[in-house]
Every structure is written in structure tokens, then in C-alpha cells.
Amino acid sequence: MSEEQSGFSCIFNDAFLLNGLRQEIRYESPLFNDTLESVFLLDEAGVERFSRYFLEMEELMASDYPHKYDMIRNLLFALIHDGIRLRGPLEEKHYQGSDRLVTKFFHLMDQQFPVDSPESPLKMMTPADYAARLNVHVNYLNAVIKKAREKQPAK
């Protein structure tokens, strides 16, 4: 509301960021899930911490370091995680059962990858395997995941 504005902005495309970002994190971040509150009031320490991320990204962009984009991507991941941590756990009344199920599903999926060796094969390979582990019917799991994907903005 003030005439004097300050802050940072960061623009990136899906190819730059999303390939390395776990689906579970995308679902829990208001940056990618528009059903979550996306505005946070920061205390002084939070402003300093988030400002350091952006200032370091600016410094990297101006540098000739050959791996600067990897470092910038990692700083963005840290920013996203800090935002999720700052938001804290969703209040139970706003956190529907289907949201919990989707989060648990993505967590189970992430636990399986990467497969490091043939001695540790995938434990769950079909939707029915996931549904059994989550104690729901496979059709319900499919419907909940499909609905959650429809909530996310188009890529």
C-alpha cells in the first residue's frame, strides 16, 4: 500500500525447475498448488533469510561460473522448502482426507526412487499396490489423484 516498493522477483520455466522437484513438494507448495495460501508475512529474520537467497541468485547470474544454473536451481529449491516450512502444517479443518491421501501417495512413490541396484527392486508397481498400502480401493485412489492433478495449474 506504500508508494515505496521493494522486493525481489524470480521468473523460471517448468523445464528449469520442475524436473528435479518431487511431486509431493509441488503439491505442498503454494507456488504450484493454487488451493493453498500463497502470501506470508515475514518477520525481520525471515526477510533477511529470503533476501539472501535472491541476492545470491543475482550474484550467480552475473558470474561466469559454469554451474551457476545448478546452484540457482538449488537456491530455488531451498526457497520453496522454506516457504513450505514457514506455512507449517495445514490446519486439520482445511486439510481434507483426499489431500492427506495424495500427500501419502506421493511420499510412497518418492520412497521407491531412485532404485539403486537390482537387489532393491520396486516394491509397489501398480496402482493396486499403492491402494493396498494406503488402505483404500484402487478406484478411489485413482479418482483422488486425478482430481488433485486437475486442481494444479496447467504446465
Q: Is the pLDDT of residue 94 over 70?
A: no
pLDDT tens-digit profile of 121-155?
777 888 898 888 888 899 998 888 888 877 665 54
Q: Is the pLDDT of residue 96 over 70?
A: no
Q: What is the CB-side half-sphere exposure of residue 9 using CA atoms within 13 A?
A: 3
Least confident segment among 9-13, 41-45, 112-116: 112-116
Contact status, residue 86 vs residue 40, Cβ threshold 8 Å: yes
3-class secondary structure, 14: helix
Q: Name the DSSP class of 38.
A: -
Report pLDDT for 14: 78
Q: Is the pLDDT of residue 90 over 60?
A: no
Q: Is the pLDDT of residue 75 over 50?
A: yes
Residues 6+ apart with CB under 8 A from 126: none
Contact status, residue 6 vs residue 50, Cβ threshold 8 Å: no
Q: Is the pLDDT of residue 117 over 70?
A: no
> pLDDT confidence of 92, banded at 50, 70, 90?
very low
Model-wide pTM > 0.85: no
Residue % of the chain over a pLDDT of 70: 85
Amino acid identity at 50: F
The CA-to-CA distance between both ends of the chain, in Å, stands at 32
Name the range with the highest mean pLDDT among 24-28, 62-66, 122-126, 149-153. 62-66
Amino acid identity at 96: Q
